[in-house]
Structure 1
Amino acid sequence: MPLLGFGTYNAENLAKLKDSIKESIKIGYRHIDTASFYGNEEVIGGAIEESDVCRDEIFLVDKVWNSEQGYEKTLNAFKNSIKKLKTDYLDLYLIHWPQSLNKETWKALEKLYKDGYVRAIGVSNFTINHLKNLIENAEIMPSINQIEFHPRLVQKDLIEFCEKYDIQLEAWSPLMRGGVFQIPLLQEVAKKYQRTISQIVLRWDLQMGVATIPKSTTSARIKENSDIFNFEISKEDMIEIEKLNDGFRIGMNPNEVYERPEIIRE
């Protein structure tokens, strides 16, 4: 899985999103992340089909939504998703949020993996307790846990747990939906390295061992976000950035979503 991906959540202008995906592929992105909840699978499928890159060069990620969970419902949801995406397989399929039907849903993902319809399976927004509960009876360990991760929400204990079980962490909302631009320390570090704040944060993700999927529909920003492989942040500055961690969340708390799925907004 490419450690840098292209996020597609909450893109209101689908025509612009399609152009952005085609532009990202042209620039060199090969990892595209979506979910049935996003309502853009058909757009993404069309963008990949119209690009100059073959499908097998794209690492395509999708997620099963809360209302689609359960063994049979998940299998049906998968069929609907790949039809919209105009593909016959996924590179990675995730459970979008922890829910009471996770174990049944995971059995469906394991079947899809064994049958060759998905190349890897994982979860999203799972805490340590959710992971422990899932893997108790799992035949296949989750390969990915996609979580909200940024300098103000590091979740060190979750990082250590996932490292122990060889679960790759992946950051959604790595730029805090623009919130990182208001943090003075990041402004200072960006100036020091003569980089943008986005580049500093995304590079910090990678050096923390976390894959990252920023979202932008602006061509210049898409290119800027990909230019993070030719510099390195010092150990001292990595530590200083990590000190920004105060548990602040942009999105929902997974424990609250598990208890009351009706409150979900992402």
Structure 2
Amino acid sequence: MVSAYCLCLVLILLGTSNAQLGGEPHDNAHPESMVSVGRAVAAAVSSVPLRNAAVPGLRMPVVGIGTGGYAFSPSQHGEIWNDTTAQKAVRKWIQLGGRRIDASYSYTDQIGVGKAIAAAIAAGEVTREELFVVSKVGSGGLIPGAAMGYNDTMVQIGPILSSLQMKYVDLLLIHWPGPPGKSKDPACQGQPATFKTCRQQTWKALQDMFKQGSTRAIGVSNFEQNHLQDIIDMKELLPSVNQVEYHPYWHEDDLVKFCQERNITFNGYSPMSCPDYAPPTHGWSHSALQEPVVMQIAQVHSADPSQVLLAWELAHGVVVNPRTRNPDHMTLNLQFEKVKLSTDEIAKIAAIVPPEKNKVCPDPHQYK
């Protein structure tokens, strides 16, 4: 079941203006002018340098589009993403100037992502070198063929690259610190006590992929301090990125500090607290977008509440992955850096009292 381990990358359904799924606006602009505008927008988006296990000079745009949905049928909470919806959304994202695309082997829509990228390149809207494409191995036991362990991980890179129609990805992550799934690796067998050795063997596989040129950088996702320490103890390459849930209801500031002290870029997912999924699933009355302090700050800055939340996260050194199929929302996401929050505003958002069940996805602390 998807919600069990949370294929979590964020949907942006924003404030009063961004709160409805609704229809998607039509864009009748001339193709050449769209390309010019898209390139100008892309040039205005900031990026951060990646350290540790990354090729020298590699930079990661501060905002990307997530492609992992929560629902597979209308009866489930959350937006439905499949190859068709992913292809349409990613193509529009590129046309509007988005350059970072966050995908995963386990989202089951990576073929659509690959088709969108290939079509955009063929149409001259972007070059492969201008894009920053992220994928992930392992799925928390969700997807057959996406287990952890050295050999089980090494065989995943072929299908990943094939589905994306490319020779390399820019960043490859271990999706979850556990469980290992149906791994055949002896290091991943037995009780949860084996998760440490299983993670280490999975990390060895990513290092080999990096050395072979299949990916320009490697990192992890949903890793807490103890999981990162397992990799640090190997005394080999360190992750360049740790992608973790981060929003006003759930922000592990100690983990952010731990990563930043080790030159691990902190990439936050669910920056809006997943308004399509979390409120109806967890019994919330509203998402972080409707918090009064967020809406008040948005009004002061003549901005959308979504842009305030993204600006708040970037102020903590966190790069973000908002997910949306709506072109208007994409434009807001690409322009959030115009919002410059004061120290007092940053503190007010951090002080928001979260709902009782304040985490969108399962807690990775359970994997020892």
2:99 is matched with 30
Q: 1:262: which partner in 2?
A: none
2:132 alignment partner in structure 1: 59
Residues 64 and 321, structure 2, Cα contact 8 Å, conserved in 1: yes
What is the rounded CA distance, in whole Å, between the counterparts of 2:346 and 2:209 in structure 1? Answer: 39
**Equivalence for 1:213:** 321
CA contact (8 A) 2:67 2:81 kept: no
Matched, 1:182 2:279: no
Q: Which residue of 2 aligns with 1:248?
A: 358
Q: Which consecutive aligned stretches of 4+ in structure 1 deviate over 6 angstroms post-superposition?
A: none
CA distance in 2, matches of 1:81, 1:109: 13
For the 8 Å contact 2:82–2:108, the answer to whether it is kept is: no
**Range that drifts further, 141-150 or 179-188:** 179-188
| Deviation by residue 1:24-43 (Cα, 9 ceiling, x = unmatched) | 11111110001111011110
SS in 2 for 1:53: coil
Aligned residues: 258
| 2:220 aligned counterpart, secondary structure | strand
8 Å contact from structure 1 (residues 93, 118) kept in 2: yes
TM-score by length of structure 2 reads: 0.68
- Pairing 1:94–2:204 present: no
- Pick the structure with greater CA Rg: 2
> Which SS does the other structure have where 2:336 is aligned?
coil
Partner of 2:68: 9
Letter in 1 for 2:151: E
More divergent stretch after superposition (55-64 vs 130-139): 130-139
What pairs up with 1:81-230 in 2 under 5 angstroms? 81-99=160-178, 100=195, 101-178=198-275, 179-230=287-338
Which 5+ residue runs of structure 1 have no aligned equivalent?
A: 260-266
Residues 29-48 of structure 1: matches in 2 within 5 Å?
A: 29-48=98-117
Q: Is the 8 A contact 2:83 2:108 kept in 1?
A: no
Cα deviation, residue 151, structure 1: 1.1
Cα deviation for residue 13 of structure 1 reads: 4.6
Answering whether residue 150 of structure 2 is matched by residue 71 of structure 1, we say yes
Q: Which amino acid aligns with 2:114?
A: G
Q: Which has the higher contact order (CA 8 A, sep 6+)?
A: 2
Q: Is the 8 A contact 1:33 1:62 kept in 2?
A: yes
Question: Is the partner of 1:229 in helix, strand or coil?
Answer: helix
**Cα offset for 1:182?**
2.5
CA separation of 1:138/1:81 partners in 2, compared to 1, >3 Å: closer, same or farther? farther
Q: TM-score, normalised by structure 1?
A: 0.93
Is the Cα contact below 8 Å between 1:46 and 1:85 reproduced in 2?
Answer: yes
| CA pair 13-81 structure 1, distance change in 2 beyond 3 A | closer
Query: Residues 35, 69 of structure 1: CA spacing in aligned structure 2 closer, same or farther, 3 A cutoff?
Result: same
Look up the SS of the partner of 1:117 in the other structure.
coil
> Whole-Å Cα distance in 1 between the matches of residues 82 and 332 of structure 2?
21
Q: Secondary structure at the match of 1:119?
A: coil
* Identical-pair percentage: 33
What letter corresponds to residue 239 of structure 1 in structure 2? Answer: A
How much does 1:175 deviate? 0.6
> Matches of 1:122 and 1:181 in 2, distance apart?
29
- RMSD (Å), alpha carbons: 1.4
